[in-house]
């Protein structure tokens, strides 16, 4: 898809969701663009309930499991995070804000909501050996942490209710590593600027 056709399909999708009174939250790469520059994406990610998803038969569902579904709307690939998952439902309910998109305001995950989702996904991505997505997610996390400096302990506390102990330990290690890289970058940048 060209960028123009992608944006048109996304706008058509939001118009249809609003018309059908579907409760949804934009997450993923397009949501990240509301906060930081430079993130490319080829699809759209939404949190939605399965019952709301059924209100939109124009979206062709290719596959679905307990927590996720993938569909197509006017050539636009859509990944759905289903609210049957407690964390996805929590982000939908408590970590959402309205953001401008084209000529409408759409519900979008907050910085904290995006961080929760990305941290939650990382242990599974590591187990799958999906290092391309691991790199993207860790970069997204680092970018959001550096730009917005949110409190991470409340996020970790929330995740501890959603994942097992082994995944939680992995998430803590990943986050500590990302935070250490941000600190090293900040120190190196300051040191480099004083040498000029």
Per-residue pLDDT at 193: 43
pTM above 0.85, yes or no: yes
Pick the CATH number of 3-109 from 3.40.50.11900, 3.30.460.40, 2.60.120.310, 3.40.630.30: 3.30.460.40
The domains of the chain are located at 3-109, 113-194
Please indicate whether residue 58 or residue 3 has the higher confidence score (pLDDT).
58
Per-residue pLDDT at 1: 63
| Angle at 29 (CA atoms; ends 28, 33), nearest 5 degrees | 120
Contact between 78 and 44 under an 8 Å Cβ cutoff? The reply is yes
Gap between the Cα atoms of 167 and 174, Å rounded: 10
The pLDDT tens digits for 52-76 are 999 999 999 999 999 999 999 998 9
Contact between 107 and 98 under an 8 Å Cβ cutoff? The reply is yes
Which range (36-45, 90-99, 131-140) has the least confidence? 36-45
Q: β-strands 96-101, 68-73: how paired?
A: unpaired
């Amino acid at each position: 898809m060209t960028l123009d056709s992608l944006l048109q399909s996304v706008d058509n999708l939001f118009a249809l969701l609003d018309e059908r009174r579907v409760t949804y939250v934009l997450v993923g790469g397009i949501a990240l663009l509301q906060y930081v520059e430079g993130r490319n994406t080829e699809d759209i990610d939404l949190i939605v309930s399965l019952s709301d998803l059924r209100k939109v038969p124009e979206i062709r569902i290719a596959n679905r499991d307990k927590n996720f579904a993938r569909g197509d709307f006017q050539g636009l690939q859509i990944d759905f995070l289903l609210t049957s998952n407690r964390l996805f439902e929590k982000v939908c309910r408590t970590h959402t804000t309205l953001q401008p998109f084209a000529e409408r305001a759409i519900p979008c995950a907050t910085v904290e909501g995006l961080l929760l989702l990305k941290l939650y996904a990382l242990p599974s991505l590591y187990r799958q050996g999906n290092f391309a997505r691991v790199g993207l997610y860790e970069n997204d996390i680092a970018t959001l942490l550096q730009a917005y400096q949110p409190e991470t302990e409340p996020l970790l506390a929330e995740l501890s209710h959603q994942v097992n102990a082994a995944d939680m330990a992995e998430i803590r290690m990943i986050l500590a590593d990302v935070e250490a890289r941000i600190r090293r970058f900040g120190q190196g940048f300051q040191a480099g600027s004083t040498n000029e």
